[in-house]
Chain A
């Protein structure tokens, strides 16, 4: 029981960290056509996430891998049920990855426009669809007793699912805009700050609507009502959300970005804690739901994976934090920014 509960929380944590890290890349990629007014600015935007996006994406592979290892039954039902949605996400991620690499390799504006479009699609689609997928999990998925999905891609595109998609989209857009505010200067910086300000209001409205709708569309609040202490989580969540605006107003962009990272993690956990012990609830019959208790691996596998995770995840976090910190505070804040002068050197700007 304890092992399964631990793994349930780790499962939630890995998805939360993935959203927190790759989230700002999705945000930057979606803002990309709107904030970058010329090729230099576009390159600055891409290089601001240059050293990080690939490492960030590995959190998805880890979250997927851990789902497979710790909850094989969930892995098999979740990804076969969400087949088309997941394929769309994967193709989008493929496009984003190669576009970053391809874009600068041929000096031709048509070539660049092509990959610019792909970067936008490759960032916008996952941002939206991850939200749609998780909101649907929160409200339950039509799976029968054998884990067979009785819907289509369009079943997922219901109002609550789309609301979840919007929530994730705004979370990531704010997150990305704040990263740009840290990493850039001049007009691009000013545009990023004003985008962060306006997007924050949209995020606030969406978050409030989402929290209220969740009461009617899902059973997430049951766990909270049974253990009122858990309400601390959404309270902290709201504080983090307000913290973004607070630090944004004070022009402390790194603190604002940090508050935004915290918001994303707490937001994911708000849902995950509400789901407990279910990982993939059935909307047809609660007995068909896949939970940490009926869908986990054997105790031996859970133990081995726990050892592996306890050793390696902190190492991974340590060096990612080191790389991010290096990005933010290299020598001094000014040097930590990607500037037009940097673009001349391949050593500083690979994209």
Chain B
């Protein structure tokens, strides 16, 4: 175990844990804001108790998201100091803008919202929640611009032994970042829809608070239906862009070895990285990979063999992550469409309700796998084509990183378990007002 491996594990653990909470924060804030707006407009008390019930779960989740986010910002300095020094001119400013322009607003306004029930008018209070949701989304924009730059660096020049910013707007409007943002936020909305629908299904199965949870379910259903379709369409566009700017990632996630026209897509494959071939290929569809990558069945797709061995990402992990994400992403709109047909007889559809209850973890898995693909598929680069991960790590003692990694796993494990336990307990309790 060396500092590099330990630091990578630590960053993976910290980011993946952080991302268990971020998507729900992004999506549930919108749903809560919508519910509260309905209350402010109609004065119907059921929307008030919906706002209170769902926001309680939102706040537990938010707290975990916030505290686990702080460590991420500082880990670039603690564990990836060479990276920070090399690209800080660009990357650092994006993180700083996120904190100054968005995160501040989100945290302060959330304080106003929590403690402002009696001090603000109904409408103003609902408006504050919309601002919280907006600020969260703006945060996501900047973080994904930062990640987009690592995936596809633009607007810079190598000067004074580091990457220096030359075109700020090229960085901000990086198409990779824009696609990543739309993909991530819409995926987060899908996750939040599943969360609300799954918990609602639990109560509807028990035939308790039927009116309350039917309405909650339907609000989330519309939201989930729209964004589960959107995320798939956007994912396709994202795939085309990856083919263009990160051909090695595409080849790895498809276990595609030989450069070829009319390249086939394997529904499943087990790669043998040592011998540069696949041990098993199941369900190969000719030309489909060319079509997915270039929207043209005859297009040429570069194979892994065209990249030097030391510049290829881990093939098996990229492939599995991609297939899990896409498989689940295909299932989601189907579940939503079924829900749409059953929306007026939910309590008479126990099988569907049970399915939705047990489906709560699925979008979490899909999102985590999406990030595994994005980050593992970019290896061995920390900034694609510009800096290798192995050159980015801090010159620090292995023991320090080992201790902090163990601390991360223990502390995050315990807090995560407690957090999800509290969310589950409060979810099961149902509305109290």
Contact = CB atoms under 8 A, between A and B. Distances in A.
Contacts of B92: 65, 68-70, 72, 75, 297
Contacts of A69: 88, 92-93, 95-97
A36 interface: no
Contacts of B278: none
A76, A87, A312, A316: which has the most chain B beta carbons within 10 Å? Answer: A76
B419 interface: yes
Residues of A in contact with B, size category: 35 or more
A69 B187 CA distance: 30
Contacts of B400: 83-84
Interface stretch (A146-154, A169-177, A202-210): A146-154
Interface string A45-85: 00000111011011011101110111011011111100110
B110 A101 contact: no
B42 interface: no
Nearest to A53: B111
B307 interface: no
B111 A51 contact: yes
A75 B77 contact: yes
B66 interface: yes
Contact of B66 (A75, A97, A308): A97
A90 B411 CA distance: 11
B108 A55 contact: yes
Interface string B69-88: 01101101111011111011
B70 A94 contact: yes
Interface class of chain B by DSSP: helix
Given A75-B77, A94-B67, A350-B114, A54 B96 contact: no
A297 B156 CA distance: 13
Interface stretch (B163-171, B223-231, B285-293, B351-359): B163-171
A300 interface: yes
Interface in A98-140: 98, 100-102, 105-106
Interface stretch (A246-254, A257-265, A319-327): A319-327
B208 interface: no
Contact of B81 (A97, A147, A298, A320): A147
Interface class of chain A by DSSP: helix
Interface string B157-200: 00110101110100000000000000000000000000000000
A54 B110 contact: yes
A73 B110 CA distance: 34
Contact of A79 (B78, B162, B422): B78
A94 B93 contact: no
Contacts of B77: 64, 68, 75-76, 78-80, 86
Nearest to B59: A101
Given A54-B107, A58-B99, A147-B81, A80 B396 contact: yes
B67 A300 contact: no
A242 interface: no
B95 A98 contact: no
B64 interface: yes
Nearest to A90: B71
A70 B95 CA distance: 11
Interface string B101-134: 1011101101110111111000000000000000
Given A73-B85, A93-B67, A319-B108, 12 more contacts: A57-B70, A62-B99, A80-B394, A80-B396, A84-B403, A101-B63, A102-B418, A106-B422, A147-B395, A298-B164, A312-B101, A316-B104
Closest 9 CB pairs of A and B: A72-B88, A79-B77, A68-B92, A65-B96, A76-B81, A347-B117, A51-B111, A55-B108, A101-B63
14 contacts: A51-B111, A57-B70, A58-B103, A62-B104, A64-B99, A65-B96, A76-B77, A77-B85, A79-B74, A87-B404, A297-B164, A298-B164, A308-B97, A348-B115
